Chain A
Amino acid sequence: MENLSIQDIWRQNETILDTTRKLNLNLLKEIKLDQAKSSVRSLLFLPISTMIFFIIVAFYAMYFAVSYLDDWYFIFCGGIISFFSIWYVISSIRQLKNILSIDYSASIIQLQKDFTTIKLSILRNLRIAAYLLPFGPFVGVFVAKVIFNIDLMNLIKYDTITELSITFIALEIISFVILNALRPKNINKSWVKWLMIGSGSQVDEAITFLEDIQEFEQES
C-alpha cells in the first residue's frame, strides 16, 4: 500500500470528524481556567493525605519525647519517629511540587515518564520505610506506650539483650536488601514486583508503561 493512499484514507477520517464535531466558540472565548478542574488534581490525594498524617505524627512524637524527658529511650523513640515523619512530609511536598509543575507541552516521552514516576511515588515511600525498619523495636516501644501505656523497656531483661541485638542486625540486613531492591533501575525485576504486590494496579500499570517507554526509546 502506497503512502498516498493511507493518507487519503486518513483525510476521509478528517472530513467525517469535521462534520460531526462542533466547537462551542462562544464558550471557548469565555472559558476561565479556574472553572475547569484538571485530571491532574486526582493525583494530589495521596501526597496531601500522607503529608497531613505525618505532620500529625511528627508533632505527636515530639510532644511524646518532651513528655518523657527522664527516660532516654522514650526521647530516642520520639526523636526517631519525628525524624522519619518529617522525612515523609518533605517527600510528600516534593511530590506535590512535581504534580503541580506538570507541563503538558513537554516532549511526549518526557512527560509520560514524569507522570509514570509520580505514580511510582509509592517506591519512595517504601524506601523511607526500609530506612525505618532497623528502628522497628523503638517504634514498638513507642506504640506500646502510646496505645497500651506499657513500658516495654522495663519488661526487657538482661538475658534478652543478645536476642535483641540479633534482631537489630537482622533488620539492618533486611533493610539493606530492600533499599537495594527499590532502586529505580531494578523496577522491572520480578522480585521487586513481588515486593510491591498489593500496592495497586496503578503501580503495575506504571511499571509496564515504563518498560514500554524504555523499549520505545531504545529502538532504532
Chain B
Amino acid sequence: MKQQQGQDITQLIEKHQKLIYKVVNSYCSDIHEQEDLIQEIIFQLIKSYGKFDHKVKVTTWMYKVAFNVAISHFRKIKNRQKYLVPMPEKLVNISAHESQENENLIRLRKFMNELKPLDKAILIMYLDENSHADIAQAMGISISNVGTKINRIKQQLKKKFNQ
C-alpha cells in the first residue's frame, strides 16, 4: 500500500509539475532559490500525501501545499533568513528564460510581484482557471470573499494595463 501510495504521488507530481513551477516562479525570482523551493514543495507533497483524504481535488490540495511552502519561504527571504534544503542531487534543472517573455507577460509578472502574497495566491489559482469554490477551499475563506478579491485584483490589473 505504501509502495503504491509512493508511486501515486510521484506520478501526480510529474503530471502536475507545471503547477509547482508556476507557484515557485511567482514567489521567487532567484533560480537557485527556485530549485530549493521546488524541492521543499515536493518534499512536503510526499510527506503530507498520506493525510490527503481526497475530499478536494488533487490539484486544490497541491496548490495548498505549494502556496503554503512558497509563502512561508517568501516571508523568510524577506526576513533575510537562511533557507536550508540539502538534497543529494538537483531534483529540477532551471534555465534562464527572460528573453522569451513578451511585454504583456513582463507587465503581468510585475503586477503580480506587487501583490501581497495571499492575493497573489488567489490570482494564480484564478488564472489557472480554478473555480471560486476551489480557491475558497484552498485559501480557507468564503466563496463570496474570493469573488470580491478577484474583482478587486482584476480592477487593479485593468488599471495597470491601461496605464
Seen from chain A, the residues whose Cβ lies within 8 Å of a Cβ on chain B are 1, 3, 6-7, 9-10, 12-14, 16-25, 27-29, 31, 33, 35-39, 41-42, 103-112, 115, 201-202, 205, 209, 212-213, 216-217, 219-220
Contacts and interface: CB of A to CB of B under 8 A. Distances in A.
Tell me the dominant secondary structure on chain A's binding face: helix
Interface of B: 10, 13-14, 17-18, 21-22, 25, 38-40, 42-44, 46-48, 51-52, 61, 64-65, 67-69, 71-73, 75-76, 78-79, 81-97, 100-102, 104-105, 108-109, 116, 118-119, 121, 127-129, 137-142, 144-145, 148-149, 154, 157-158, 161-162
Contacts of A216: 116, 118-119, 141
Nearest to B63: A108
Contacts of A13: 22, 25, 101, 105, 108-109
B17 A23 contact: yes
A21 B75 contact: no
A109 B141 contact: yes
A23 B14 contact: yes
Given A23-B91, A220-B148, A28 B10 contact: yes
Contacts, number: 179
A41 B54 CA distance: 28
B48 A103 contact: yes
Contacts of A37: 84-86
B87 A205 contact: no
A108 B67 contact: yes
Contact of A109 (B94, B109, B140, B148): B140
Given A3-B154, A106-B68, A205-B78, A10 B139 contact: no
Contacts of B39: 36
A65 B10 CA distance: 58
18 contacts: A1-B162, A12-B102, A17-B18, A17-B21, A21-B21, A23-B14, A23-B92, A27-B91, A28-B14, A31-B46, A33-B43, A33-B46, A36-B85, A39-B73, A39-B84, A105-B51, A110-B140, A205-B75
